[in-house]
Structure 1
Amino acid sequence: MTLKSITPMLYTRQVRESVDFYINNLGFTCVGFDENWGWATVSRDDIEIMFALPNDHTTFTVPKFTGSFYIRTDKVDELWNELKEHAVICYPIETFDYGMREFAVFDYNGYLLQFGTPVD
């Protein structure tokens, strides 16, 4: 048995707006959308993210996640130049002592997306 990938399911009350943000600001493509289900999937390269209305049995007031989504890329500087004008920046591109060159932005719902690549 081998685990192959992980696809986060992010709760939001604004599925369409979230999808639009990822398409228009982050270069993703919508690969699934069902208004009746309150669900959608966006993708870019090998990354998939799902959005969904919160389950009825879940207490939900605002989007929340206690961490970040760390996405590795092979061309972080190129990605930074593409995205920096299209999202709220948490921190700009920087090379860190722990061997990663990275930056972070907030998505439409305030979820934190970090993008990084190892440095030699």
Structure 2
Amino acid sequence: MLTAIHPKLPMRDKIATRHYYINQLGFTDIGRIDYEAYLMLAKDDIEIHFFLFKDLNPLENYGQVYIRTNDVETLYETFLKNGVAIHPNDPLQVRPWGQKEFSLLDPDHNLLTFGQSV
């Protein structure tokens, strides 16, 4: 039956999106063919796909994904070391629902939340 999910998020600029995810977040490009309007990236056991949406207004973008991790503190520290801006309203913290998590916004304001059960 179901084995995986690969969210598709909007991007305005493929080069900027690719640079951010690869150089700051540590993803790799897994696309076998370089499509102008599509991008497939992976890190560890997850994939995120992106589709071109040139007219996207980042301040009106509600794209978001929740990514589970087994070492949220190390991931957080790695991102900080790489100069990744953490969402100012969501630094690493334990939430009432039993998750230790943090969030960030990519260049198109897609919200990525990383969490681990405590």
Higher RCO structure, 1 or 2 (CA under 8 Å, sep 6+) = 2
- For structure 2, list consecutive stretches of 5 or more residues without a partner in the other structure: none
Structure 1 residue 67, shift from structure 2 partner:
5.5
Structure with a larger share of its residues in strand: 1
- For structure 1, list consecutive stretches of 5 or more residues without a partner in the other structure: none
Q: In terms of Rg, which structure is larger?
A: 1
- Counterpart AA for 2:79: L
The 2-side partners of 1:116 and 1:45 are apart by: 15
Q: Secondary structure at the match of 1:34?
A: coil
- In the alignment, what sits opposite 2:85? 88
Q: Residue 62 of structure 2 contacts residue 111 of structure 2 at CA under 8 Å; is this kept in 1?
A: no
Question: How much identity, in percent, do the aligned residues show?
Answer: 35
The 2-side partners of 1:67 and 1:22 are apart by: 15
RMSD over equivalenced CA pairs, Å: 1.9
1:22 matched to 2:21: yes
The 2-side partners of 1:65 and 1:46 are apart by: 26
Q: Residue 87 of structure 1 contacts residue 106 of structure 1 at CA under 8 Å; is this kept in 2?
A: no
Q: Residue 12 of structure 1 contacts residue 62 of structure 1 at CA under 8 Å; is this kept in 2?
A: no
When normalised by structure 1's length, the TM-score is: 0.83
Q: Alignment length, in residue pairs? A: 113
The 1-side partners of 2:56 and 2:48 are apart by: 21
Q: Residue 87 of structure 1 contacts residue 107 of structure 1 at CA under 8 Å; is this kept in 2?
A: no
